[in-house]
Amino acid sequence: MRCAELAFCYSAAQMSPPPSTATPPQAAAQLLQLDAASFRYGSKVVLRQLSLSVAAGEAICLLGENGAGKSTLLKLCAGLLRLSGGRVRIDGRDLDGQNRAAIARSVAYLPQECTHVFPFTALEVVLMGRYARSRTPFESADDLRAAEAAMVATDVVNLRQRPFNQLSGGERRRVLLAQALAQDTPLILLDEPTAGLDPAHALALGQAMHGICARGKALVFATHDLNLASRFAQRSLLLHDGELRLSGPTMHVLEQAGPLLGVQLHFGTLPSGVPYVIPT
Amino acid sequence: MSGLSSSRVAEPPALSTSSQRFRRLLLLSAALLLVVLALAPLFGSSDISVLRSLLDAALAKQPWQHSPAARVLLYGRIPRVLAAALAGAGLSIAGVAFQALLRNPLADPFTLGVSSGSSLGAVLAIRLGWESLQLFGQPLGEFALSGCALAGAIAVVALVYVVGERGSAGPSTLLLSGVTLALLAGALITAVLYTADFAETYRIVRWQMGDLDVMRYDLVLRMAVPVLFAMLLLWPHARDLNALSAGSDAAAGLGVDVRRATRVVYLAASLAVAAVVSVAGPIGFVGLLVPHTLRGLVGADHRLLLPTSALCGASFLVLCDTLAQVMFRPAVLPVGVLTASIGAPFFVALLLSRSLRRRLWV
C-alpha cells in the first residue's frame, strides 16, 4: 500500500488515538458548536434545529441523500450562509460578527466544485490558502513553506507549476485540499473530498485526513462514500430532509442508515480488522 | 504510482517568490514605457524632424522654446503622448478589474456599458448645445461635454451595479445588465443622431470614434488624477481578485470580504474608464487586448497583472496613437479605429486557436 507512504500520514497510527465518542468532549475543547441551527432558502426549510459539537482531533462525517442539507450545513459552519435561527460558534466565538479574515483563520472550507477562470498554477492556488494569514502583499517564505508542506501532504508537489484548470478532477481536489491545509486552521470542512479521486488517492486522502486529526485539528466532511466514513470518521451524522436523524459512532449510525439512504447495507470486516460496508 | 512515491522527496522551495518576479516585471515594463514615451514624441502627423530643428536652434544659439519644432513638441506631441499613455493605462487596468470581478474574460469597459453611457452623455451635451451654457458668466465649453460623459458613465455604472446586486444570476447578471444598457444607450444615441443637424452629427460621430487630437495639459491632468487614484484603489485588492477567480464563495472561504472588494474594485475601474472616455472618447479593445496578452506572458496573478497592464497598456496605446498619426500622414487616423483593427483580428484568432486560448485564459 504505497499510499501509506504519503508524508502526511507519518505517525498517524502511533499518535494517541482520537478521543473516543463515549465521553462527550468538554466545552472548552469544542472547536465547532451549533445550537439549534436552522436555515431557510426563502420559505423552504433546509435545516431544522440542528445541534452539534465537534472537538479538536475529531473527524465527523455527514451522511445523507442528495439534497439532505449536508452542503448547506458545511456552508453555515464556514459562515458562507447566514443562519435563520440558532447560532454557530467556532473556538467558542460566535461566527456572527466576525470578519471574513478572522473566520478564515479558524475554518477552512473545501467546496464541492471549484474552477478558476484564469490560468493560475497549482502552487498559486495553494498559496491563496494563505490569504488570511499573511499581511504583506506578497507571500513570505513562511507562506511558501506552509504551501510546500501542504502540497507534500496531498501529493501534488509535482503538479505545482501546472495550470490548475488543466488538471484532472482528482488532481484539482488534492490541490484544493492542500489549499485548505495551507490555510492552517483548527477546523477543516470538506464537501465530498473523495469525489472524483481514484481509489489510491481516495484512500491516501482518507489517511491524510486521519493524520490531520491526529495533529489536533477537527474535520467535518460530507460524503457518499460509506467506507470513507466507516474507516476515518469516529462519529457520523445522518441528515434527512434537513433534519438530524441519526448521530453517534459511525458504525452505529451506518447500521441504521440503510432505510434512510434507500439501500440495504451489508457489513463485514477484513482479516486485518478494517470494516467495510457494501450497499445493495 | 511513481508520482506518489516521488512526492516523498520534498523539494526545497526553490521557486522565485512572486515578489521577485514582481520587481523584475515591473522594471521591464517600466523601462519599455520609458523608451516608448521618449521616442513617441519624435513622430507625428507633420514630418518635421524635431531633433534636427532643436539641434539647429541650439547651435544657432537661439532660444529653443521659440523654434516651431519646440512648439510642436511641447503643445502638440508631448501632451498627446501623455494622454495616450494615461488612457491606455486606465482602460487596461479597468479591463483587468472587470474581468476578474465578473469572472469573465470578455468583460471590459465596453461590454459593461460604461463607454456607451459615457458616449450617451457626451452626445446629449453636443446635441443640446450645453457647451454654450453659461456658468458664472463663462461658457461651459468642453467641461459640459466631459462632465456629461462622466455623468453618463456614472449613471450606467450605478444602474448596472444595482441590477447586479439585486439580480440572482451571479456575476453574469452584471455582464448581462451591462450589455443590455449598452444596447439601450446605443439606441438612444441613434435617436439623438436622428434629430441632430449636420454640424452636430459630424461632431457626434467624430467624438464616438475616440481619438486623442487636440490634447492639452489640463485635459491630461483631468485624466491623470482619476486614473492614478483608481490604481491606488485597485492595488490593495489584487489578492482579492486572485481569490475571486474561483468564485465568491471560495474567495469568502479564504477570508476575502467579497462585498467590499467588489464595491471598491468596481468603483475604481469605472472611475478610470469614465475619466478616460470623457476626455478621449470611446477607445475600444484596449481593455481586452492588453490584459489577455499579459496574462499569457506574466500569468494570472493580479499582483503582477495590474501594474504590468497599466504600464504596458500605456505603451500600447502610445504606440497605436503614434502609428495612427504617421500611417496616412498628414491625415490622422482616430486611434480607436486602429485599436479595433488590431483587436478584432486578435480576438478572432483567440477564438479559433485552441493553443493561443489555452495560453491566455484557460
Each residue's pLDDT, cut to its tens digit, for chain B (362 residues) gives 344 444 444 444 444 557 788 888 999 999 999 999 999 888 887 777 777 777 777 777 777 667 777 788 888 889 999 999 999 999 999 999 988 888 877 788 877 888 888 888 888 888 887 777 766 766 666 777 778 888 888 888 888 878 877 766 666 777 788 888 889 998 999 999 899 888 888 888 888 877 777 678 888 888 899 999 999 999 999 999 999 988 888 899 999 998 899 889 988 998 898 888 888 888 888 998 899 889 888 888 999 999 999 999 999 999 999 999 888 887 888 888 899 888 888 878 777 776 666 665 54
Calpha distance B147→A204 (Å, rounded): 63
Residue B7 has its nearest CB partner, among A78, A139, A158, at A158
What is the phi/psi pair of residue A191, to 5°? -100, 110
**What residue numbers bound the domain in which A69 lies?**
2-10+29-121+185-279
The three-point CA angle A193-A199-A204 to 5° equals: 65
**Which one of B15, B101, B104, B292 would you mutate to disrupt binding with A, by most A Cβ within 10 Å of its Cβ?**
B15
Does the residue A105 lie in any domain? yes
Edge to edge, the sheet with strand A44-55 lists A44-55, A30-41, A85-90, A93-94
- Total domains in the fold of chain A: 1
A213: its cell numbers:
486529526
- What ipTM, to 2 d.p.? 0.81
CB-based contacts of B157, cutoff 8 Å, min separation 6: B114, B117, B266, B267, B270, B274
Which tens digits make up the pLDDT trace of A155-205?
888 988 888 888 888 888 889 989 999 998 899 999 988 887 888 888 888
A155 and B18: CB-CB below 8 Å?
A: no
B105 and A152: CB-CB below 8 Å?
A: no
Calpha distance A101→A110 (Å, rounded): 16
Q: Which residues of B touch A105 (CB under 8 A)?
A: 255
Q: Which residues of B touch A200 (CB under 8 A)?
A: 1, 4
Per-residue pLDDT at A24? 45
Q: Which domains does chain B have, with CATH numbers?
A: 47-360 (1.10.3470.10)
What is the phi/psi pair of residue A33, to 5°? -140, 125
Q: Which residues of A touch B254 (CB under 8 A)?
A: 104, 128-129, 131-132, 179, 183
Which parts of chain B are beta strand (E)? 134-135, 138-139
Q: Is the pLDDT of residue A64 over 70?
A: yes
Calpha distance B233→A158 (Å, rounded): 37
Task: Calculate how close chain B gets to A110, using CA atoms only, in Å.
Answer: 8
Mean pLDDT of all residues belonging to chain A: 82
B159: its cell numbers:
444602474
| CA B20 from centre of chain | 27
Calpha distance B56→B346 (Å, rounded): 44
Task: Calculate how close chain A gets to B231, using CA atoms only, in Å.
Answer: 15
Query: Cell 470486516 maps to which residue?
Result: A269
Does the residue A159 lie in any domain? no
Calpha distance B247→B241 (Å, rounded): 10
Distances, alpha carbon A19 to alpha carbons A15, A37, A249, in Å: 12, 25, 12
CB-based contacts of A179, cutoff 8 Å, min separation 6: A108, A110, A125, A126, A128, A129, A150, B254
Count the alpha carbons within 13 Å of B230 in the hemisphere toward its beta carbon: 32
Calpha distance A127→B301 (Å, rounded): 11
CB-based contacts of B354, cutoff 8 Å, min separation 6: none
Task: Calculate how close chain A gets to B154, using CA atoms only, in Å.
Answer: 28
Calpha distance A262→A259 (Å, rounded): 5
A65: its cell numbers:
441523500
Does the residue A256 lie in any domain? yes
A128 and B11: CB-CB below 8 Å?
A: no
A100 and B105: CB-CB below 8 Å?
A: no
Please name which of B128, B261, B282 lies closest in space to residue B205, comparing C-alpha atoms: B282
CB B46 within 8 A of CB B330: yes
Calpha distance B277→B150 (Å, rounded): 8
Report strand pairing: A187-191 vs A218-222.
parallel
B17 and A119: CB-CB below 8 Å?
A: no
- The CATH number given to whatever domain includes residue A216 is 3.40.50.300
Task: Calculate how close chain A gets to B119, using CA atoms only, in Å.
Answer: 30
Q: How many CB atoms lie within 10 A of CB B197?
A: 8
Which tens digits make up the pLDDT trace of A237-274?
998 888 888 888 888 888 888 888 888 888 888 888 88
CB B125 within 8 A of CB B281: no
Q: Is the pLDDT of residue A80 over 70?
A: yes
Task: Calculate how close chain B gets to A107, using CA atoms only, in Å.
Answer: 8
CB B281 within 8 A of CB B110: no
Calpha distance A200→A193 (Å, rounded): 14
Closest-CA residue of B relative to A185 is: B254
Calpha distance A94→A86 (Å, rounded): 11
CB A123 within 8 A of CB A94: no
Residue B254 has its nearest CB partner, among A123, A128, A204, at A128
Calpha distance A262→B202 (Å, rounded): 73
What is the phi/psi pair of residue A236, to 5°? -135, 155
Calpha distance A227→A278 (Å, rounded): 8
CB A110 within 8 A of CB A190: yes
A132 and B105: CB-CB below 8 Å?
A: no
**Which one of A138, A140, A184 would you mutate to disrupt binding with B, by most B Cβ within 10 Å of its Cβ?**
A138
Task: Calculate how close chain A gets to B343, using CA atoms only, in Å.
Answer: 20
Does the residue A154 lie in any domain? no
B257 and A117: CB-CB below 8 Å?
A: no
Report strand pairing: A30-41 vs A85-90.
antiparallel
| CA B351 from centre of chain | 22
